[in-house]
Structure 1
């Protein structure tokens, strides 16, 4: 615990304004002295002080003295703060050649996650990013940091092949030994005592019988040769080789059992885990771990897609590194949808148990067939925060049991101020004879406001709302109506869909009967529309000529 005397000194120095080199230099020296007892509270206090210095210095005149002071604060933090380690490790490299600095705007959240993992807030961290954006390199930096902090610990890295293991081994050795990096300055007492290129082992402690780091493919020798200490890490990177392997449930099951019986088996109690992988299939090892631990707060799963919700690149890094929005959009056009969604958007598209697989859905070119029909729309209201307002517009032919052509689909994550004008505009465009809104969580008030605004526009429509029944679960209802949705609904072909329509279809086509679904807005909206058109729990609607 920081002493009252030190607190008084800190207060006195702060009162000077912390705007001169001498004052800031004294402040840094005090931070270092407070941390010397190495108590958690003392260190945390010292790190708050150095964070102040790093925030203040860039606002002061650019001089060599202030620049040196800034890096001294960063060096003090480097053994304790992973991001400071990353910055200081590349201090002597040209900015455009650095790994982390150009990528920090996207990878900062991953760095913070890894800090939480190292501080013991997590037992497991799963990471899914597109190819070649730096995920493996960042994790290799992380393992180098852990080695510097605890050279006597035992850690292991593995992947689907020995080739990956060779890369891990060489890259960690480079980070800790190459003078281009400042590892020896951050951890002056840590040195490489022994290495084996044949075994891919690096030992930074001359006493321990097991290596500090062992890099080995999952098909290599693990039993009796690898140990992961209670303060160590198992780092697993891409256990599934490619899409071909992901299509085989048998091979995925075998790979998962190998992961448990070969890799996890080498962990001692307390060892933590870092797993990186492309989300090919919910049955891959990362998907299996996520499903089993979805409610465990000590397990965290981070997924960052190539394109964000605005279809803009998440990985357009500084200095021309990374990938532009155009690059990803062009790639999306060329790739098979399944591969794009899994490899780049982190959505395991190819998987067992799909309730609405693309091959089983009917599509049309946007031209309706001849015959009488009526138009209806059902709205599953959402209020932002990740859920989507789902409102498909269906043209129903042939009465109950007939085909329903989905001409348009509002699928929007915005709040009510965003979605209400869209609902009004689409209603006036398609002129349905009736609309139904789910009344849960204020949906009735939402419907009343839509009704009022439509009347202000001079359009009268039958609008109903009701609360979802609590007698049947949403999943059970979706499963119940799934055959009708596949048999009777006819969706716009992909090239005729709006972006929101396509997002709704993506969610529909990745919905699984067994396993975890992140959202169910798309299939639930279709169920509500089907019930509205056929009568269901709502008032029956007779077929009529489309109003002119």
Structure 2
């Protein structure tokens, strides 16, 4: 526990700041207090509190006096080859060094101190990878015992995890951890990257190791290694190495140990697309993972599994389905495009732009796009809605009627689904709009009412189950309040088994008759040109895209997490075939109404 003398001193520094503001003298004082708290008095919690405060003070002082952040000041010094840099930058890194044993992000920052900012791994990617760094720190602090991470390829997921294993080795050089992948070639890559972190002058691992383990100050780093066995030992030589890298096709029994304070790190067990398309190979891979890799864990060992999800048979996806509700297991998915259809990985350096990912989406089969880039694994066998008809957003000339039905949802994970189409005399139905929203009725009712009026729909139907008839009544009342004439009816839907049968039965008609918006989003120039020409061009908004994503993953065999998109289209086709098979909703006073 921090001494009263230290606490009083820090409080005095704060009083000084209140009177005179932040200056170099008080920053020096805070830095000394950080050293005393962590290195002398060993009060880590209090020490980390004042290290955070010290970093904030340095940034505040830098911003005020240099017009930028401490990182911008460091970048300026590097770009202008200012020998020795700046005192403030050195002080900031001194704080990071004090935190490096306890804060994973601080460890990475300090590890890359000698690297030019243009070559650094973490800083340009921190906006996206910060949440991953925090997850990994929670794993190390035993807030969770299993962490599953899925991201697209080449965005840094393996590198940050290798940094993590280096951090664990710094903290516990005599622990035993294992890194495994789909092949020995991959294991060799892990070994080389770890050795690069441990031994090259480009990184500061040797400095940190001597700082936190003075008893090894004169020892070589590593103390033992094998380029043939892919083993690295940092602490006292032992039968098992600090880190062993091994392909799943290699020898594990008797050669690999994961100690109770170590990690099993599994990265990319699925070799490639061909591997993922074979259910037999996928099952064999999963069984090998359990019987070769997991078998080497001692009681208390933790696990980190990383990969790009290929399909639902992927070991990581199987683990997620089995344990996603267990608070000791955490699964993090970061897709290529966020909810605004923008890149999550538009890094400052070596990133992937929104345009790059949208172009890949247009080129790839939707199932593969969703799996490899959006981390939504697929089952290729049994996909029901493949080879859908698409149009460019401009409705063809000719007479049509606007139609829409509502698959009701009240929130809680399910989506209200209201596909809206233009039905032509030849039977084609152009789905040009779609309400697809997980909100409560307070959110979705105004959306439904707005779409009915905006599209001049005069007849619509609601699924009558689970209060759907009441939802229909709410909408009908809102339409009457706005003096809009629309026949709102409800119809009871079949049970779950019958529902799947109906969806399958009508899927052929939907694929034959329904035409969906393509993935093209018009540019500002295109939208202006359309406006000048008086052309109305529809395009997929976020809700439409979410509906199509769900629809493309719907399978006729196995389970589906959600069927809202498919069910909404099925109800629309049934409504087209028989619009009068309904029950009329009469507006009445509802004593239970809360809307």
TM-score, normalised relative to structure 2: 0.79
Report the counterpart of residue 327 of structure 2 in structure 1.
Answer: 297
Aligned residues: 527
Distance 1:372 1:140, change over 3 A: closer
Q: How far does the alpha carbon of each residue in 1:301-360 deviate from its partner, in whole angstroms, 9 at most, with x for none? A: 111111122221111111x42111111122222223222221111111344554x3425x
Report the counterpart of residue 13 of structure 1 in structure 2.
Answer: 13
Report the counterpart of residue 434 of structure 2 in structure 1.
Answer: 410
Between the aligned partners of 2:560 and 2:325, the Cα distance in structure 1 is 13
Distance 1:180 1:454, change over 3 A: farther
1:491 equivalenced with 2:532 (yes/no): no
Structure 1 residue 443: deviation in Å? 9.6
Structure 1 residue 126: deviation in Å? 1.1
| Unmatched tracts of structure 2, length 5 or more | 67-72, 74-85, 520-537, 586-595
1:28 equivalenced with 2:31 (yes/no): yes
Structure 2 counterpart of 1:460, from 475, 482, 485: 485
Between the aligned partners of 1:3 and 1:390, the Cα distance in structure 2 is 62
After superposing the two structures, state which structure 1 stretch, 405-414 or 295-304, moved more.
Answer: 405-414
Structure 1 counterpart of 2:500, from 455, 471, 479: 479
Between the aligned partners of 1:477 and 1:25, the Cα distance in structure 2 is 73
1:424 equivalenced with 2:450 (yes/no): yes
Structure 1 residue 111: deviation in Å? 0.9
Structure 1 counterpart of 2:144, from 109, 114, 122: 122
Between the aligned partners of 1:297 and 1:396, the Cα distance in structure 2 is 48
Helix, strand or coil: the match of 1:358? coil
Report the counterpart of residue 419 of structure 2 in structure 1.
Answer: 392
C-alpha contact (below 8 Å) 2:462/2:469 kept by paired residues: no
Distance 1:333 1:261, change over 3 A: same
Q: How far does the alpha carbon of each residue in 1:430-483 deviate from its partner, in whole angstroms, 9 at most, with x for none? A: 524124277969995796367535753x531023569x88x95xx545424222
C-alpha contact (below 8 Å) 1:494/1:502 kept by paired residues: no
Structure 1 residue 89: deviation in Å? 0.8
Between the aligned partners of 2:467 and 2:407, the Cα distance in structure 1 is 13
What are the equivalent positions in structure 2 for 1:253-332 lying under 5 Å apart? Answer: 253-318=283-348, 320-332=349-361
Report the counterpart of residue 549 of structure 2 in structure 1.
Answer: 506
| Unmatched tracts of structure 1, length 5 or more | 542-548
Distance 1:345 1:199, change over 3 A: same
After superposing the two structures, state which structure 1 stretch, 403-412 or 266-275, moved more.
Answer: 403-412
Between the aligned partners of 1:444 and 1:4, the Cα distance in structure 2 is 65
Between the aligned partners of 1:369 and 1:310, the Cα distance in structure 2 is 32
RMSD: 3.6
Report the counterpart of residue 124 of structure 2 in structure 1.
Answer: 102
Between the aligned partners of 2:407 and 2:60, the Cα distance in structure 1 is 51
Helix, strand or coil: the match of 2:16? coil
What are the equivalent positions in structure 2 for 1:148-547 lying under 5 Å apart? Answer: 148-188=170-210, 189=213, 191-318=221-348, 320-352=349-381, 354=383, 356-358=384-386, 375-381=403-409, 388-393=415-420, 405=429, 407-413=431-437, 420=446, 424-425=450-451, 427-429=453-455, 431-436=457-462, 448=474, 451-452=477-478, 456=482, 459-464=484-489, 472=495, 475-476=496-497, 478-489=499-510, 490-493=513-516, 495=518, 498-500=539-541, 501-512=544-555, 517=560, 519-526=562-569, 529=572, 538-539=582-583
Structure 2 counterpart of 1:92, from 85, 105, 114: 114
Helix, strand or coil: the match of 1:479? helix
TM-score, normalised relative to structure 1: 0.85
Between the aligned partners of 2:467 and 2:102, the Cα distance in structure 1 is 45
Report the counterpart of residue 142 of structure 1 in structure 2.
Answer: 164
Distance 1:453 1:482, change over 3 A: closer
Distance 1:192 1:205, change over 3 A: same
Structure 1 residue 221: deviation in Å? 0.9
C-alpha contact (below 8 Å) 2:390/2:518 kept by paired residues: no
Structure 1 residue 224: deviation in Å? 0.4
Report the counterpart of residue 545 of structure 1 in structure 2.
Answer: none
After superposing the two structures, state which structure 1 stretch, 529-538 or 195-204, moved more.
Answer: 529-538
Between the aligned partners of 1:287 and 1:353, the Cα distance in structure 2 is 18
Distance 1:24 1:237, change over 3 A: same
C-alpha contact (below 8 Å) 1:238/1:277 kept by paired residues: yes
Distance 1:449 1:434, change over 3 A: closer
Distance 1:422 1:230, change over 3 A: same
Between the aligned partners of 2:430 and 2:142, the Cα distance in structure 1 is 50
Distance 1:364 1:66, change over 3 A: closer
C-alpha contact (below 8 Å) 1:531/1:538 kept by paired residues: no
C-alpha contact (below 8 Å) 1:313/1:325 kept by paired residues: yes
C-alpha contact (below 8 Å) 1:160/1:218 kept by paired residues: yes
Distance 1:219 1:206, change over 3 A: same
Distance 1:112 1:444, change over 3 A: farther
Structure 1 residue 142: deviation in Å? 0.8
Between the aligned partners of 1:478 and 1:46, the Cα distance in structure 2 is 60
Q: How far does the alpha carbon of each residue in 1:201-247 deviate from its partner, in whole angstroms, 9 at most, with x for none? A: 11112332101111111101111000010111111111111111111
Helix, strand or coil: the match of 1:311? coil
Helix, strand or coil: the match of 1:499? coil
Structure 1 residue 371: deviation in Å? 11
After superposing the two structures, state which structure 1 stretch, 81-90 or 54-63, moved more.
Answer: 54-63
Report the counterpart of residue 592 of structure 2 in structure 1.
Answer: none
Q: How far does the alpha carbon of each residue in 1:38-71 deviate from its partner, in whole angstroms, 9 at most, with x for none? A: 87xx312211110111112111134933322211
C-alpha contact (below 8 Å) 1:282/1:351 kept by paired residues: no
C-alpha contact (below 8 Å) 1:380/1:524 kept by paired residues: no
C-alpha contact (below 8 Å) 2:110/2:204 kept by paired residues: yes
Structure 1 residue 414: deviation in Å? 8.0
Between the aligned partners of 1:187 and 1:228, the Cα distance in structure 2 is 22
1:47 equivalenced with 2:45 (yes/no): no
Between the aligned partners of 1:395 and 1:223, the Cα distance in structure 2 is 63
